[in-house]
Amino acid sequence: MPAGTVFGAWRQLALQPPVVSADRLAKGTEMLGLAWDDGALADLCTQIEDVAGSRRPAPFAAAAIAAHVVAMRPDAELFGWWLADLVLAQSLRWPLPLPLLMAQAFGPAFRGEASGKRIRPGDRNFERAVCLALVQAAAETCRLASELSRRAEKLLAAAPKLRAKGAGDVIFLLLNEDAVAGSLTTKNLSRFAARRLFERLQELDVVRELSGRTSFRLFGL
């Protein structure tokens, strides 16, 4: 599945509180290219409510729903991880979900110690792997948050040095989006001016080029 599709699904997940509804699940499956009938989604909502009502520790609740989805539809593992991140946030009473488990789904926590074979939802030791993955994800997320905070402060400190009209709009986007296209245009900024602005930001070492391409460039903190 294209990385942009996966990114879009988790971005949509993180924009709303972790409340479960058939409509929300339908949107999630649609974004991930899965066809599910309304009855199956309603049953899945009931299953999530049962897991939430069981008062299981949050990692085990997330593991349970991911395993349930894969047991229903082996081709829907991505959706299982999507729901696992949603149920985790719901169980911990977070205001918004975070892509913690998905970020670790193909990482070392889900590799068998002996065989090296990937541990999938429902496999033996899956719950243990989820617990390890959450510890690793939390540590990595805290490190990333600290680094992004430092880089955001550096970008804001450089703002007075920027003379381009419309630079404020670009700074706002860089602070609020994961990536900004180098070909960005706004009512105050032409494509040529945007290119010059991003070159200036790179000279000041306050943005990074993320794509590694010359034809389609993406910038971010």
Give per-residue pLDDT as tens, 18-58: 888 888 888 888 888 888 888 888 888 888 888 877 788 89
**The pLDDT of residue 59:** 92
Confidence band for 199, pLDDT divided at 50, 70 and 90: confident
What's the mean pLDDT in 126-134? 93
Burial class (CB in 10 A: 0-12, 13-18, 19+), 212: exposed
0.75 surpassed by pTM: yes
**Whether the predicted pLDDT of 142 surpasses 80:** yes
Give per-residue pLDDT as tens, 81-124: 999 999 999 999 999 999 999 989 888 888 877 667 888 998 88
Q: Could you give the domains of the chain?
A: 3-142 (no CATH), 162-220 (1.10.10)
Question: Could you tell me the end-to-end alpha-carbon distance of the chain, in angstroms, rounded to an integer?
Answer: 26
Give per-residue pLDDT as tens, 64-80: 999 999 998 898 999 99
**The pLDDT of residue 114:** 67
**Whether the predicted pLDDT of 62 surpasses 70:** yes
**The pLDDT of residue 2:** 67
**The pLDDT of residue 64:** 93
| Residue that the structure tokens 């381009």 belong to | 164
**Whether the predicted pLDDT of 1 surpasses 70:** no
**The pLDDT of residue 128:** 93
Residue 55 CA to residue 61 CA, distance in Å, equals 8
3-state secondary structure the chain: CCHHHHHHHHHHHHCCCCCCCHHHHHHHHHHCCCCCCHHHHHHHHHHHHHHHHCCCCHHHHHHHHHHHHHHHCHHHHHHHHHHHHHHHHHHCCCCCCCCHHHHHCCCHHHECCCCCCECCCCCCCHHHHHHHHHHHHHHHHHHHHHHHHHHHHHHHHHHHHCCCCCHHHHHHHHHHCCCEECCCCECCECHHHHHHHHHHHHHCCCCEECCCCCCCCEEEC
